[in-house]
Amino acid sequence: MLVNSIQSFSPPRRILMGPGPSDVHPRVLAAMARPTVGHLDPSFVAMMDELKALLQYAFQTANPLTLPVSGPGSAGMETCFANLVEPGDKVVVCVNGVFGGRMKENVERCGGIAIVVEDAWGTPVDTAKVAAALAANPGVKAVAFVHAETSTGVESDAAALCALAREHGAYSIVDVVTSLGGVPVRVDAWGADAVYGGSQKCLSCTPGLAPVTFSPRAAAAVAARKTKVQSWFLDLNLVMGYWGGAAKRAYHHTAPINALYALHESLLMLREEGLEAAWERHARHHRALVAGLEAMGLGMLVAPAHRLPQLNAVRVPDGVDEAAVRNRLLERYGIELGAGLGALAGKVWRIGLMGQSCSATNLTLCLSALETVLAEMTAPIREGAALPAAAAELYGR
């Protein structure tokens, strides 16, 4: 490529209805365009305090150790494991999808011993299996699980799993990347210890930030480590000199200043809507989407009691090229859906209703476009049924 031919990048407009990122509101994009200040500027430090309070609201926690890690959700995951897990520590890792598998990888890279509890993809973590693993392995340091498994669209019982960990004297490490802002996340009520999220899903911010929160007992464990945290950048003992809230903040790294403006704005919008209202909006649009899909003749991967409202795994009809459907939706309508991962590759579509993407406009366009494309491919569907079914669920008619 000739460098002289490169011009300013102008991305196409997309409707983001995959597993993330989600649509970003113009208010959030506008916040990023505000003047950059220094990362120790008094005005920015004041904004950091507000951002911490807004994150505590989103997490439903009073944990002092609550901050956005300068990196994507995966950096939030690594922050939790790298700070809590030391060489030789035993960690029960619940694997029921892709991201539980990544937890196992983190444990092993920290020198820990992963005790894996496996469940079928599309089913929640079995608390009885976790209880059995804890009983069979005295001295477990932590229990790690994904609250909202993005690869399958299934929700596990966070309150029960955190309670099990506490009963056995273990910490809980919880992935809420896809759940934060979309379904109830109640860190203090659960008694969760190390919890990490992501900016780009139900919070509808730009990708690249990972909210984390540590309980006081987890923070004490981090401070009392026998070995250094293997990552200098993610070592909370160092990071808290910058995010700790003291009058004088110690330089650690140059924060992603404008990205933090965006997260502040997206969290402010969440507070304005209200957490309960946001949870209800996701649930209502999920019910309408499922009603439309099922009226069309499509099936869902996850049983109703365990479905995530914001991430819907839809079975691909027999004989249909799922990638061709997604490509046509993107090229013709600008709609992005997600493909299946791992064992579900080619078998499901992942339809996201996250944050700003969770709207009646997006929902009806997605159903209409999907029906049109599937009909063109002579898929075995019922034409004309999806939109009335969705409308009946949304508007009661």
pLDDT of residue 251: 84
For the chain, domain boundaries: 26-272, 275-395
- Give mean pLDDT, residues 380-390: 96
pLDDT of residue 244: 78
pLDDT of residue 243: 85
pLDDT of residue 396: 82
Whether residue 247 is predicted with pLDDT greater than 60 in this model: the reply is no
If one counts every other C-beta atom within 10 angstroms of the C-beta of residue 162, the result is 27
Who's near 3: CB < 8 A, 6+ residues apart?
A: none
CATH (one of 3.40.640.10, 1.10.10.60, 3.30.950.10, 3.30.300.130) for 26-272: 3.40.640.10
pLDDT of residue 242: 86
Q: In angstroms, rounded to a whole number, what is the distance separating the alpha carbons of residues 320 and 323? A: 9
Kindly indicate the confidence band of residue 113, based on its pLDDT and cuts at 50, 70 and 90: very high
pLDDT of residue 355: 97
pLDDT of residue 385: 97
pLDDT of residue 88: 97
Whether residue 197 is predicted with pLDDT greater than 80 in this model: the reply is yes
The pLDDT tens digits of the residues spanning 157-170 come to 999 999 999 999 99
The pLDDT tens digits of the residues spanning 301-332 come to 999 999 999 999 999 999 999 999 999 999 99
pLDDT of residue 256: 95
Check if 26-272 and 275-395 are the same fold.
no
Whether residue 30 is predicted with pLDDT greater than 70 in this model: the reply is yes
Whether residue 246 is predicted with pLDDT greater than 70 in this model: the reply is no
pLDDT of residue 241: 84
How high does pLDDT run on average in the chain?
96
Q: What is the pTM of this model?
A: 0.96
Whether residue 245 is predicted with pLDDT greater than 70 in this model: the reply is no
The pLDDT tens digits of the residues spanning 250-284 come to 888 989 999 999 999 999 999 999 999 999 999 99
The pLDDT tens digits of the residues spanning 137-192 come to 999 999 999 999 999 999 999 999 999 999 999 999 999 999 999 999 999 999 99
Q: In angstroms, rounded to a whole number, what is the distance separating the alpha carbons of residues 284 and 3? A: 49
If one counts every other C-beta atom within 10 angstroms of the C-beta of residue 315, the result is 16
Kindly indicate the confidence band of residue 397, based on its pLDDT and cuts at 50, 70 and 90: low
Who's near 127: CB < 8 A, 6+ residues apart?
A: 157, 160, 161, 164
The pLDDT tens digits of the residues spanning 65-106 come to 999 999 999 999 999 999 999 999 999 999 999 999 999 999
Q: In angstroms, rounded to a whole number, what is the distance separating the alpha carbons of residues 10 and 31? A: 19
275-395 sits in which CATH class?
A: alpha beta
pLDDT of residue 89: 98
- Beta partners for 172? 143
Q: At what angle do helices 158-167 and 127-136 cross, to 10 degrees?
A: 10
